[in-house]
Amino acid sequence: MKRFTATLTFILLAAGAAIAAEPTLEVKNKSSFTMEGNSRNPFWPIGWKPAVHSGSDDHVDPSIPASAFLVSSIAMQDEQHFAIINGQIMQEGQEFGLQMSGQTYHIKVKSIEDGKVILAQRDQEIVVVLRRK
């Protein structure tokens, strides 16, 4: 055990001497890189675009225009109200996704009335009028 300790001590001393003997480097010109906010990151592969984050609570969504929706039919019978919105049959309280500008917005059918549908997206209400030919 004494021999192992002596050998280890010698190795550590030799390593310390080697580290102390290394010359220090003086940096004369330090490189830097700054990029404007709207520029494409040059380190991304050509043609690659970052993933769009949707559905986060801190992201502020732009106003969705009523023209993004097409209500082609409304059917009301007793307490059941149905509407065809963008080619899909929807009823009150149903939620669906709207893809626009590379993002998916969560829309809820708030109410279906005679001649119009009221949609909700977060705190925004969107009134879409029935399209008549």
78-114 pLDDT, tens digit per residue, is 888 999 999 999 999 999 998 888 888 899 999 999 9
What's the pLDDT tens digit per position in 21-50? 667 778 888 887 777 777 777 777 887 777
**Whether pLDDT at 66 is above 80:** yes
3-state secondary structure 49-69: CCCCCCCCCCCCCCCCCHHHC
- Amino acid in the structure at residue 63: S
Mean pLDDT confidence for 5-18: 60
Give me the pLDDT at residue 56, please.
Answer: 47
What pLDDT is recorded for position 10? 61
**CB burial of residue 5 (10 Å; 0-12, 13-18, 19+):** exposed
Nearest Cα to 64, choosing from 91, 90, 96? 96
pLDDT at position 17: 55
Name the β-bridge partners of 55.
none
The position carrying tokens 């003086």 is 26
Nearest Cα neighbor of 74 from 93, 94, 90, 96 is: 90
Beta strands in the chain (DSSP E): 71-77, 80-85, 88-91, 95-100, 103-113, 116-121, 124-129
Q: What is the pLDDT of residue 69?
A: 92
